[in-house]
Amino acid sequence: MDANRTGKACLYMVATPLGNLDDITGRAVEILRRVPVIACEDTRHSRRLFQRYGIDARLISYHEHNEQQAAARIVTLVETGTEVALVCDAGTPGISDPGYRVVRLALERGIQVVPVPGPSAVTTALCISGLPTDSFYFSGFLPARDSGVRRKLAELAKLRATLVFYCPARRIEKVLGLAAEILGNRQAALCRELTKVHEEMLRGRLQSIEKELKERPAVKGEIVLLVAGYEGNEDKPGEEKAGAVEEFLDRLDQAETVGARRLTTLVSEKLGLPRNRVYPLVCGWLNRKSAG
Which of 274, 264, 267 has the alpha carbon at shortest distance from 151?
Answer: 264
Q: Domain ends where: 227, 249, 268?
A: 227
Domain count, the chain: 3
Say whether both 115 and 129 belong to one domain.
Answer: no
Say whether both 113 and 163 belong to one domain.
Answer: no
Q: What per-residue confidence (pLDDT) applies to 237?
A: 45
Say whether both 18 and 115 belong to one domain.
Answer: yes
Residue 76 parent element (H or E): helix 67-79
Structure confidence by residue, pLDDT tens digits, 119-165: 999 999 999 999 999 999 999 999 999 999 999 999 999 999 999 99
Say whether both 254 and 160 belong to one domain.
Answer: no
Distance CA 136, CA 7 (A): 37
Distance CA 136, CA 113 (A): 26
Q: Tell whether 2 is covered by a domain.
A: no
Residue 74, domain CATH = 3.40.1010.10
250 has pLDDT over 90: no
User: One-letter amino acid identity for 12?
Assistant: Y
Say whether both 106 and 131 belong to one domain.
Answer: no
Q: Tell whether 5 is covered by a domain.
A: no
Beta-carbon-side half-sphere exposure of residue 114 (alpha carbons within 13 Å):
22
Residue 127, domain CATH = 3.30.950.10
Structure confidence by residue, pLDDT tens digits, 35-83: 999 999 999 999 999 999 999 999 999 987 888 899 999 999 999 999 9
Distance CA 246, CA 241 (A): 9
Distance CA 116, CA 158 (A): 35
Range of the domain at 209: 122-227
Q: Tell whether 38 is covered by a domain.
A: yes
What's the mean pLDDT in 193-222?
Answer: 95
Distance CA 120, CA 116 (A): 12
Distance CA 43, CA 236 (A): 49
24 has pLDDT over 50: yes
Q: Tell whether 3 is covered by a domain.
A: no
Decide which of 1 and 72 is more confident. Answer: 72
Can you give the length of the chain in residues?
A: 292
Positive/negative CA dihedral, 122, 126, 131, 133: positive
- Mean pLDDT (the chain) is 90
What string of DSSP letters covers 167-188?
EEGGGHHHHHHHHHHHH-S-EE
Which of 113, 15, 116, 119 has the alpha carbon at shortest distance from 71?
Answer: 113
Q: What per-residue confidence (pLDDT) applies to 240?
A: 65
- Please, which pLDDT band fits residue 290 given cuts at 50, 70 and 90? confident
Structure confidence by residue, pLDDT tens digits, 81-112: 999 999 999 999 999 888 899 999 999 999 99
Q: Tell whether 234 is covered by a domain.
A: no
